[in-house]
């Protein structure tokens, strides 16, 4: 999309951080620098790449969805069940995005039409969806699902698995929508200042509604890939995905107040997170530390941003908010 020298400073730093992390881990651990492991990292990034794209749209307009990981869970159950019942592959594949979009509509109704702050509304929905997952699974894992879906997504086209073609396609669609259509411009305007966007005659409600539905549909698509890869659905599905997505989006240089975002930055942020998680696991850090590390990274980046912002902008007084 953009050549390397066209990346912003933030994106170049992220790319350098990814490369540096790879080099360090490859030196420390003999298992890190193998083709197999690279495949594992890419494989583990698929869901987060898709959810990250949706979260970028949400955060670009100053919203957030902390229930997104559990939305993936609910959609995964539907995909798994339709797989078990032996529906047509097309139905199975599409059930994920459709369920995701429906849940996105639910979120949008609560948050956008109900004018409830996104964080509180989605936190409430998180509790509801958790109960739904428990009800649907009945306390047991959905496991040993048929291979039908797996063979579809791992089939190679021109030497690259279908999964990655889908990600490239989705990335391209989101990029076009964000950078080449009025919708993208309006979304960023809404994030910059909702009041001004409304006064300029934009239908802020429609824009926000659409963004939530797209984000839900992407989480549902991620659920399809999740089921295809792991062929089971567990009770704790998606619990840390929302934090990972927020961290990746913030790392990528999207402004948390909204109004500015970077899709390529989010992609690099996802890769950096997954490289760190994989590498730390290989050098013997227990996986229980992962949320601690992701959270600390998020705090560190935001703090550095805040301090740097004050340093380069003397007009801002101590503690002032932009």
List interacting residues with other proteins (CB under 8 A). Answer: 64, 66, 110, 114-117, 119-121, 123-128, 130-132, 134-135, 139, 240, 243, 246-247, 250, 256-257, 286, 288-292, 294-296, 298-299, 302-303, 306-307, 318-322
Based on CB atoms, which residue is closest to other proteins, 94 or 306? 306
Q: Whole-number minimum distance, CB 47 to other proteins, in Å?
A: 18
The Cα 26–Cα 34 span in angstroms is: 9
Question: With respect to other proteins, which residue has the nearer C-beta, 150 or 239?
Answer: 239
Give the distance from CA 310 to its chain's centroid.
29
- 167 versus 249: smaller Cβ distance to other proteins: 249
From the CB of 134, what's the least distance to other proteins, in Å?
4
Q: What whole-number distance in Å separates Cα of residue 67 and Cα of residue 216?
A: 10
The label of the residue with tokens 């990335």 reads 171
Contacts of 90 (CB under 8 A, 6+ apart): none
- Decide: residue 131, CB within 10 A, 0-12 exposed, 13-18 middle, 19+ buried: exposed
State the DSSP code for 288. Answer: G
Nearest approach, Cβ of residue 187 and other proteins (Å)? 19
Q: Would you say 64 or 83 has its CB closer to other proteins? A: 64
| Least separation in angstroms between CB 127 and other proteins | 3
**Tokens 């869970």, residue located:** 73
User: Between residues 35 and 288, which has the closer beta carbon with respect to other proteins?
Assistant: 288
Dihedral of the CA atoms 141, 142, 146, 150 (nearest 10)? -90
The least CB distance from residue 159 to other proteins, in Å, is 38
Q: Residue 245 Cβ, how far from other proteins at the closest point, in Å?
A: 11
Q: What is the DSSP letter of 157?
A: E
User: CB 124 → other proteins: shortest distance, Å?
Assistant: 4
Q: Which helix H or strand E contains 25, and what residues bound it? A: helix 9-28
Least distance between other proteins and beta carbon 153 (Å): 30
Which residue in this structure is represented by tokens 């159950």?
77
Tell me which residue of 244, 273, 311 sits closest to 14, measured CA to CA: 273
CA distances 137 to 181, 241, 321, Å, are: 41, 20, 45
Minimal distance, residue 148 CB to other proteins, in Å:
30
- Is residue 233 within 8 Å of residue 77, measured between CB atoms? yes
Q: Looking at beta carbons only, is 85 or 115 nearer to other proteins?
A: 115
Instruction: CB nearer to other proteins: give 231 or 310.
Output: 310
* 129, two tokens: 């969806």
Measured from the CB atom, the residue of 83 and 110 that comes closer to other proteins is: 110
Q: How far is CA 152 from the centre of its chain?
A: 23
CA 9 to chain centre: 22
| Closer residue to other proteins in complex, CB, 166/306 | 306
Whole-number Å distance between alpha carbons of 30 and 175: 37
């Amino acid at each position: 999309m953009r050549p390397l020298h066209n990346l912003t400073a933030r994106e170049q730093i992220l790319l350098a951080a990814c490369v540096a992390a790879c080099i360090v881990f490859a030196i420390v651990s003999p298992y890190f620098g193998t083709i197999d492991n690279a495949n594992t990292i890419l494989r583990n990034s698929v869901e987060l790449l898709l959810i990250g794209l949706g979260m970028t749209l949400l955060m670009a307009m100053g919203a957030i969805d902390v229930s997104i990981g559990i939305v993936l869970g609910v959609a995964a159950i539907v995909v798994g069940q339709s797989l078990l019942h032996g529906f047509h592959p097309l139905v199975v594949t599409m059930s994920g995005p459709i369920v995701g979009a429906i849940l996105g509509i639910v979120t949008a109704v609560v948050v956008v039409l109900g004018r409830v702050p996104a964080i509180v509304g989605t936190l409430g929905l998180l509790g509801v969806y958790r109960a739904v997952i428990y009800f649907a699974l009945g306390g047991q894992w959905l496991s040993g699902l048929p291979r039908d879906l797996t063979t579809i997504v791992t089939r190679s086209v021109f030497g690259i698995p279908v999964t990655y073609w889908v990600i490239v396609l989705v990335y391209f669609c989101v990029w076009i929508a964000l950078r080449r259509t009025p919708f993208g411009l309006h979304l960023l305007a809404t994030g910059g200042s909702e009041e001004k966007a409304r006064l300029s005659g934009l239908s802020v409600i429609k824009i926000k509604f659409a963004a939530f539905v797209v984000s839900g549909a992407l989480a549902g698509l991620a659920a399809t890939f999740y089921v295809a890869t792991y062929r089971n659905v567990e009770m704790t599905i998606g619990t840390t995905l929302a934090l990972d997505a927020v961290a990746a989006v913030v790392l990528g240089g999207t402004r948390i107040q909204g109004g500015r975002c970077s899709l390529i930055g989010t992609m690099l942020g996802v890769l950096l997170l997954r490289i760190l998680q994989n590498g730390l696991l290989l050098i013997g850090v227990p996986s229980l530390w992962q949320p601690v590390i992701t959270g600390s990274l998020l705090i560190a980046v935001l703090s550095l941003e805040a301090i740097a912002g004050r340093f380069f902008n003397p007009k801002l007084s101590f503690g002032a908010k932009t």
